[in-house]
């Protein structure tokens, strides 16, 4: 969806020829859409930033990108007017809640980042028949990599089959045909294509031998 963060917000839905031209509307009768300025930090329309969980960063962003609007929205009079019909205690409680929410969201983001940095990627070389192997790559999803797309990229790079399969534990991994463990590691370290954002220390190569006997 086209985000209209940096476009000017029109104050009223009055017909504006420019707005109509932007949307490329075929008819002159159609009502032009209203321009809404969305916050780049919390994605809400800017007037709702105060109810989000990142008000401090939202304020900073708005001040930088559009200081006139910032003054309009966060000036003292505006703050006074906003309180409106709400009683003082309710307002105080609201502010408290917002602050609490913000702290909570920050803690959550921190924890997520830590988890991301700590999570390991294992590249496992699994022996099939005789000297044939497959390579299983596990743990990519922790780095926000789309497994399906990554599998496709690996398949076209190595010109072999690569698929996303479910492991018995319920997680998903990429299985590439052929012994490509080292190449995959190099790709991850260099960040080729969509395989980005993985610290080199978190990559581990293991090997799984087929049990002897049987055939």
Partner 1 sequence: MFKKFTPGSDISGHTPVKSSVQRSIRNSILSQWKIEPETLEAIWPKKEGLVLVKCRDHISVYTVKQEPLFFQHFDESFFPTLRLLHKYPHILPAVKIDRGAIRFVLSGAQIMCPGLTSKGGELPPTEAALQAGTPVGIFAEGKEHAVAVGITKMGTEDMKATNKGVGVETTTYLGDDLWALKAL
User: Smallest distance from the beta carbon of 152 to partner 1, in angstroms?
Assistant: 17
Contact 138, 125 (CB under 8 A): no
Q: Does 169 bind partner 1 (CB under 8 A)?
A: no
Using the minimum distance from each CB to partner 1, give the nearer residue, 1 or 68.
1
- Rounded alpha-carbon distances, angstroms, from residue 11 to 8, 34, 69, 76, 202: 9, 9, 12, 21, 51
Tell me how far apart the alpha carbons of residues 137 and 147 are, in angstroms, rounded to a whole number: 10
Q: State the binding string over 86-125 for partner 1 (x if CB under 8 A, else -).
A: x---x---x--x----------------------------
Using the minimum distance from each CB to partner 1, give the nearer residue, 45 or 161.
45
Beta bridge partners of 137: 123, 174
Q: Does 190 bind partner 1 (CB under 8 A)?
A: no
Question: Which parts of 24-87 fold into alpha helices (H)?
Answer: 55-65, 67-74, 76-83
Using the minimum distance from each CB to partner 1, give the nearer residue, 24 or 213.
24
Contact 64, 85 (CB under 8 A): no
Q: Does 40 bind partner 1 (CB under 8 A)?
A: no
Binding residues (CB under 8 A) for partner 1: these are 1, 3, 13, 23, 25-27, 29-31, 33-34, 36, 42-45, 47-48, 51-52, 81-86, 90, 94, 97
């Amino acid at each position: 969806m086209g985000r209209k963060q940096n476009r000017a917000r029109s104050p009223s839905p009055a017909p504006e020829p420019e707005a109509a031209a932007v949307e490329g509307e075929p008819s002159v009768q159609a009502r032009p859409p209203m321009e809404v300025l969305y916050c780049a930090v919390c994605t809400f329309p800017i007037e709702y930033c105060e109810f989000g969980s990142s008000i401090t960063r939202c304020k900073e962003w708005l001040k930088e990108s559009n200081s006139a609007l910032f003054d309009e929205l966060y000036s003292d009079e505006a703050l006074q007017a906003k309180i409106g019909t709400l009683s003082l205690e309710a307002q105080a409680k609201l502010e408290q809640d917002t602050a609490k929410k913000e702290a909570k969201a920050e803690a959550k983001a921190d924890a997520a980042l830590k988890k991301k940095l700590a999570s390991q990627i294992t590249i496992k070389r699994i022996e099939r028949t005789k000297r044939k192997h497959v390579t299983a790559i596990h743990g990519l999803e922790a780095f926000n990599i789309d497994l399906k797309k990554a599998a496709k990229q690996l398949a076209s790079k190595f010109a072999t089959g690569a698929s996303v399969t479910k492991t018995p534990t319920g997680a998903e991994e990429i299985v590439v045909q052929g012994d490509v463990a080292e190449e995959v590691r190099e790709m991850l370290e260099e960040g080729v294509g969509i395989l980005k954002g993985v610290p080199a220390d978190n990559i581990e190569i293991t090997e799984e031998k087929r049990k002897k006997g049987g055939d």
